[in-house]
């Protein structure tokens, strides 16, 4: 049974919820979830990697049980919050893994600060989504994925939901800024070894973006999952874990 440490730390005036577990003697893996999601969406990755690594999963501000910001945060603000939290945890050079919104934050983080390795799952880096409401598409995808079926009730409340966005105008504005922000110039600065995992049927961020990122990041490679969606990393979870372990050098 995993021994999970649940902690809340105040960073830049916000209570940030996170959990840590695994092998303290191993590499530090930090997991960042997508928009409207929480820690729970990244546990399927953290759990199988925890035997050899120390796992940190963060509820990003405005998500899970972390505080909702009282002002509009840029993605660069999110990066600084993650950096300050990791500094407090004495995590200096993490293996950083991010899905979608969390992947975009990871890209900026890796362009500014040292990371051991970077892993991206369906991570946008420029304006992509023309319609903010993705609830219907996402829920249809969830029903096809066994791992995600268990999270469907959560998703109905939060993922891409109009009710969720309208409940807090600040989070809506943050979402608009995220969707419109082009970080191409930041991405070009990344030097860490980077693994890019993508579904060929991703309707939120098309597979072409994976290969664009591969060209922008010098030391990177793409793994395609044929027929998989924006949640490819969970749709082929066993394969994802095998690929990650190989990328991490058998850890």
CA distance 21 to 202: 31
Q: What secondary structure letter does DSSP report for 222?
A: E
Question: Cα separation of 31 and 87, whole Å?
Answer: 15
pLDDT on residue 148: 57
pLDDT of 62:
94
For the entire predicted model, the pTM comes to 0.88
Across all residues in the chain, what is the average pLDDT?
88
Question: What residues contact 125, with CB distance under 8 A and at least 6 apart?
Answer: 104, 107, 182, 183, 184, 187, 209, 212, 213, 216
Residue ranges of alpha helices (H) inside the chain are 43-49, 75-88, 101-112, 135-144, 146-149, 152-158, 162-167, 169-180, 184-187, 208-216, 232-235, 237-247
How far apart CA 16 and CA 85 sit, in angstroms, is 8
β partners of residue 32 = 58, 98
- pLDDT tens for 147-197 read 555 555 545 444 444 444 445 889 989 988 998 999 999 999 999 999 999
Residue 114: closest CA among 24, 215, 191: 191
Distance CA(66)–CA(16), nearest Å, equals 5
Q: What is the pLDDT of residues 50-97, one digit of tens each?
A: 999 999 999 999 999 999 999 999 999 999 999 999 999 999 999 999
pLDDT greater at residue 177 or residue 134: 177
| Percent of the residues in the chain that have a pLDDT greater than 70, as a whole number | 83
The CATH number assigned to the domain with range 5-247 reads 3.40.50.1820
Residue spans of the domains in the chain: they are: 5-247
Enter the DSSP assignment of 193: -
Q: How far is CA 55 from CA 89, 150, 213, in A?
A: 12, 22, 26
Instruction: Tell me how far CA of residue 229 lies from CA of 97, 138, 170, in angstroms.
Output: 18, 9, 29
**Which pLDDT score is estimated for 164?**
45
């Amino acid at each position: 049974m995993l021994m999970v440490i649940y902690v809340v730390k105040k960073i830049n005036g916000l209570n940030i919820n996170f959990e840590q577990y695994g092998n303290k003697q191993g590499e530090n893996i930090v997991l960042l979830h997508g928009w409207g999601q929480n820690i729970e969406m990244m546990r399927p990755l953290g759990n199988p990697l925890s035997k050899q690594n120390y796992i940190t999963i963060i509820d990003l501000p405005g998500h899970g049980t972390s505080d909702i910001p009282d002002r509009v945060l840029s993605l660069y603000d999110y990066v600084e919050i993650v950096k300050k939290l990791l500094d407090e945890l004495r995590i200096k050079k993490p293996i950083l893994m991010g899905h979608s919104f969390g992947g975009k934050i990871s890209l900026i983080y890796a362009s500014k600060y040292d990371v051991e390795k970077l892993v991206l799952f369906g991570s946008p880096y420029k304006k992509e989504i023309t319609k903010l409401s993705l609830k219907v598409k996402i829920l249809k995808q969830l029903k096809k994925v066994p791992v995600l079926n268990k999270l469907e009730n959560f998703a109905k409340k939060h993922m891409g939901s109009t009710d969720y966005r309208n409940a807090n105008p600040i989070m809506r504005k943050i979402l608009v800024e995220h969707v419109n922000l082009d970080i191409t110039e930041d991405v070009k600065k990344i030097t860490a070894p980077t693994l890019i995992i993508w579904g060929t049927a991703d309707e939120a961020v098309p597979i072409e973006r994976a290969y664009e990122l591969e060209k922008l990041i010098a030391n990177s490679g793409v793994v395609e999952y044929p027929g998989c969606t924006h949640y490819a990393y969970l749709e082929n979870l066993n394969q994802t874990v095998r690929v990650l372990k190989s990328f991490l050098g058998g850890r």
